[in-house]
């Protein structure tokens, strides 16, 4: 929460260094959800070339994944082979993303599976407005809004296995599979942290054989006829089952049950899919064991760690600051934030310092702000806050549960 506020302040102050009358805009995507439904990608003014870019068109039958016209045409992805987070081509991209493109772009699908019905709307908004503490608020924003929003707006392509053909055989999978795919980059990131996904250590050049330039997990089986049991075991060994079971957003698609009797080196997590029959669910597990063998190529927005490369990053995040402002007026969100950050690594504690400073013109010291200081600074009641919102209401969502 505080880090995102820091990013937004840095971006807004960079804009104001050019024109101090500028305020960072925010995208109220729930309006698009209400007004345009599943057609938001083609009808919303946000996705026009004079705003934040149309979805790239096809060329010679192939979808381009970057803009060739408009204000964001050929917007470069920075290159830094010494960066901490970069891909195998030295692009400032998530290490799991093997896209070698020099330019920022998006796709309106998950490898051909449309994301048009996956724009968070009034239900997600009202769920966030019902929260009473920071942990719950963060979960509703991060897991139920930002994560699926980044995935559906950004999209990805070039999956390990084609989706269109498999969905002709299993049309009942569509909703469940879209939910899982919206969280796929989170899962690949966790696989990397758990050392289950191996990424290239050598530098790649355009034209090098693709398998040498992509992250992969060879414990997953590409055999189309592998059994459910072996597929489940492979997903367990790759930490995918654990990631699926603990993902808050996926609880409406996946039921995770703890099994106290561990058999044949299996973990104690049994997954099932409420919308699918037992056989459909088992076949989906087999498919996932092939899908998660390697990450696809992805837009920066859907890659999370490098989502600021996309010009929509700022307007998306400044929209949830409006939600935070609303909650600050009705409840003390920070009452349960402890100094140890709930036992997490440094940076999560209330008094831990973050890499932000000098947001106030009067502050010229080298002091880095703590989470507590950033929370106080971003409080809507802070009279020195450099921005405000014209309204803290969402009339277009009145009546939605």
pLDDT value of position 344:
56
Q: What is the pTM of this model?
A: 0.86
pLDDT band for position 338 (cuts 50, 70, 90): low
pLDDT 10s digits, 235-287: 998 899 999 998 888 988 999 887 655 444 545 788 999 999 999 999 999 99
Q: DSSP of 112-169, one letter per residue? A: TEE-TT----HHHHHHHHT--SHHHHHHHHIIIIIHHHHHHHH-EE--SS-SHHHHHH
Instruction: Answer whether residue 346 shows pLDDT above 80.
Output: no
pLDDT of residue 365: 80
Q: Are 96 and 295 in contact (CB under 8 A)?
A: yes
At 328, is the pLDDT very low, low, confident or very high (cuts 50, 70, 90)? confident
Give 334's pLDDT tier (boundaries 50, 70, 90): low
pLDDT at residue 223 in the model: 52
d(CA 106, CA 67): 9
Q: Is the pLDDT of residue 361 over 80?
A: no
Average pLDDT over every residue of 129-154: 87
The tens digit of pLDDT for each residue in 18-70 reads 998 888 899 999 999 999 999 999 999 999 999 999 988 765 556 788 998 89
Q: In the predicted model, what is the mean pLDDT of the chain? A: 86
Backbone angles phi, psi at 316, to 5 degrees: -70, -45
pLDDT of residue 363: 77
At 336, is the pLDDT very low, low, confident or very high (cuts 50, 70, 90)? low
Residue 315 pLDDT level (bands cut at 50, 70, 90): very high
Residue 322 predicted with pLDDT over 80: yes
**Pair 23, 318: CB distance under 8 Å:** no
Predicted confidence at residue 341, as pLDDT, reads 53
pLDDT exceeds 90 at position 375: no
* Predicted pLDDT at 401: 39
The burial class, CB within 10 Å (0-12 / 13-18 / 19+), for 280 is middle
């Amino acid at each position: 929460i505080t880090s995102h506020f820091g990013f937004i302040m840095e971006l807004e102050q960079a804009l104001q260094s050019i024109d101090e009358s500028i305020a960072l805009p925010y995208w109220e995507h729930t309006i698009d959800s209400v007004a345009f439904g599943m057609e938001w990608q083609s009808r919303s003014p946000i996705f026009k070339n004079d705003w934040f870019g149309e979805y790239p068109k096809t060329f010679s039958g192939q979808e381009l994944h970057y803009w060739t016209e408009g204000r964001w045409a050929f917007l470069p992805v920075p290159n830094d082979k010494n960066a901490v987070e970069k891909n195998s081509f030295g692009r400032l991209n998530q290490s799991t993303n093997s896209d070698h493109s020099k330019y920022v772009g998006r796709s309106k699908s998950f490898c051909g599976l449309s994301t048009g019905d996956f724009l968070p709307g009034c239900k997600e908004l009202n769920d966030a407005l019902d929260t009473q503490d920071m942990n719950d608020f963060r979960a509703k924003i991060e897991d139920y809004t930002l994560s699926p929003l980044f995935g559906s707006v950004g999209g990805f392509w070039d999956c390990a296995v084609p989706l269109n053909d498999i969905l002709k055989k299993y049309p009942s999978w569509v909703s469940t599979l879209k939910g899982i795919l919206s969280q796929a980059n989170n899962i690949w990131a966790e696989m990397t942290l758990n050392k289950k996904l191996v990424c290239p250590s050598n530098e790649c050049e355009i034209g090098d054989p693709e398998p040498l330039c992509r992250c992969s997990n060879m414990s997953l089986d590409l055999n189309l006829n592998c059994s459910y049991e072996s597929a489940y075991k492979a997903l367990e060994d790759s930490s995918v089952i654990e990631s699926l079971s603990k993902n808050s957003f996926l609880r409406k698609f996946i039921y995770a049950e703890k099994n106290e009797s561990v058999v044949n080196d299996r973990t104690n997590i049994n997954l099932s899919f409420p919308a699918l029959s037992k056989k459909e669910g088992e076949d989906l597990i087999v498919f996932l064991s092939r899908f998660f063998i390697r990450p696809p190529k992805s837009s920066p927005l859907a890659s999370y760690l490098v989502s600021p490369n996309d010009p929509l990053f700022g307007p998306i995040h400044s929209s949830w600051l409006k939600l935070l402002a609303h909650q600050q007026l009705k409840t003390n969100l920070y009452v349960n934030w402890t100094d140890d950050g709930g036992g997490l690594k440094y940076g999560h504690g209330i008094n831990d310092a973050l890499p932000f400073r000098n947001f106030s013109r009067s502050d010229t010291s080298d002091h880095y702000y703590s989470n507590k200081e950033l929370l106080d600074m971003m409080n809507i009641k802070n009279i020195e806050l450099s921005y405000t919102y014209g309204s803290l209401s969402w009339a277009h969502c009145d009546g939605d549960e």
